Amino acid sequence: MGRCCFYAAGTLSLLLLVTSVTLLVARVFQKAVDQTIEKNIVLRNGSETFDSWKHPPLPVYTQFYFFNVTNPEEILRGEIPRLEEVGPYTYREIRNKGDIQFGDNGTTISAVSNKAYVFVRNQSVGDPKIDLIRTLNIPAVTAMEWTHQRFLREIIEALLKTYQQKVFVTHTVDDLLWGYKDEILSLIHTFKPEISPYFGLYYGKNGTNDGDYVFLTGEDNYLNFSKIVEWNGKTTLDWWTTDRCNMINGTDGDTFHPLITKDEVLYVFPSDFCRSVYITFSDFESVEGMPAFRYTVPEEILANTSDNAGFCIPPGNCLGSGVLNVSVCKNGAPIILSFPHFYQADEKFVSAIEGMHPNKDNHETFVDINPLTGVILRAAKRFQINVYVEKLDDFIETGNIRTMVFPVMHVNESVLIDKETASRLKSVINTTLIVTNIPYIVMALGVFFGLVFTWLACRGQRSGDESQGTADERAPLIRT
């Protein structure tokens, strides 16, 4: 009986160890998990993935921070602007996909991305309908820029002189965000109906969408999950000067494909940036006990390099690293985008304004993604809206103002997975972890039976020695 157990333990140990190594080398269970995920993470009507894409479960909060101008008269005399940050004014962002239609063979799907904003008082510094902010008169500054168009030049010059527009104005936060009827724009609207009489930094963005999208469902390839192939009827943009800069790449930033590796470069098309951007792996993170890859926007995105020369408008007119002139897609308004407080921008932009304090913790854009499922666990999209200003001899309103990129407001759009969604996702991750670890479990059993085999071998050897010793003791001292 002992000898049978001895051989059984040895044989079983060998079989289990060989089996475990074979499973590990062939990646049998890992491939099975991957194939299951690839099959399920598809935009298919009625699926859980489709429902989450249509109605994103994660709570999104948008915080607006304004720069209040404290020395307007001194600025017009040529002194450095002194700005005071006021905020946050926090809004809960409600997102969903609408007007959904599936394309042929289920490989494409068209939709619009609806957004609405609901004010959250207990996460804000004040009441946006009451709090006042002194800032640039963006409609007036924009109108001055429009004077480069021969048709409007004389009209706008006459309007600005007649109505004595000032470079700095005071409005409520609510007006600056969601819009107010501007005197100059209303008059220009009479001559150019396509120009709205209303102005607001987020005017027309509450309860609306940013255009028609066509996405890939991931049916043909999981790497194509939720990738954008068309926006507003176009497969490429037409604002920039090179084909590369005009490409529409990646997803809308709400979702990513599953089975992400840290060597991947992920692309995103945020329409408010008027261009595609890419994010790269930065670090390993843990969110609600789940593993995550942290991806960040690299400094090269807004660097003054040959790769970005196509974003310089007009051609060759590059402002420097860390800023992007988007006037070409903002109806000619001299809007310049950057990261908050000119984070990752040239020092000249920071030193030109008193009150800029760029730092990574508060101003970096990042996204923490679970690599197995591609689900966003935590993210912060941060950017700043600036206006290009300069002294214009034809407009005495500009005084002796310095030529600069003038900060108006910065935005922090953040998301953190809620505990209920995290619990469901963690269950999926733990299940796949158990399945993919089966070869190691088999190996552990092989090692266990190997130890049993070794113990039985040692025990048998010891028993043999003891038996031999007993026989010798019973033998007569003198043999005949």
Alpha-carbon distance 439 to 447, whole Å? 12
CB-side neighbour CA atoms (13 Å) of 350: 15
Phi, psi values for residue 32, rounded to 5°? -65, -45
Tell me the C-alpha to C-alpha distance, in Å, between residue 324 and each of 118, 278, 300, 337.
29, 15, 12, 5
Contact between residue 103 and residue 128 where contact means Cβ atoms under 8 Å apart:
no
Under DSSP, is residue 457 helix (H, G, I), strand (E, B) or coil? helix
Alpha-carbon distance 258 to 369, whole Å? 9
Q: Taking Cα atoms as reference points, which of 401, 146, 429, 403 lies closest to residue 286?
A: 429
DSSP 132: E
Neighbours of 7 (CB within 10 A): 11
pLDDT reported for residue 151: 59
Which H/E stretch holds residue 185?
helix 183-191
Tell me the C-alpha to C-alpha distance, in Å, between residue 88 and each of 61, 64, 340, 354, 476.
11, 5, 13, 20, 102
> Rounded to two decimals, what is the model's pTM?
0.87
Per-position pLDDT tens, the chain of length 480: 555 665 565 565 566 556 556 645 555 545 555 667 777 888 999 888 999 999 998 999 999 999 999 999 999 999 999 999 999 999 999 999 999 999 878 899 999 999 999 999 999 999 999 999 999 999 999 988 887 765 567 777 777 777 777 899 999 999 999 999 998 899 888 878 888 999 999 999 999 999 999 999 999 899 999 999 999 999 999 999 999 999 999 999 999 999 999 999 999 999 999 999 999 999 999 999 999 999 999 999 999 998 899 999 888 888 999 999 999 999 889 999 999 999 999 999 999 999 999 999 999 999 999 999 999 999 999 999 999 999 988 788 888 999 999 999 999 999 999 998 998 888 777 767 665 655 666 556 655 655 655 665 676 655 555 555 555 555 555 554
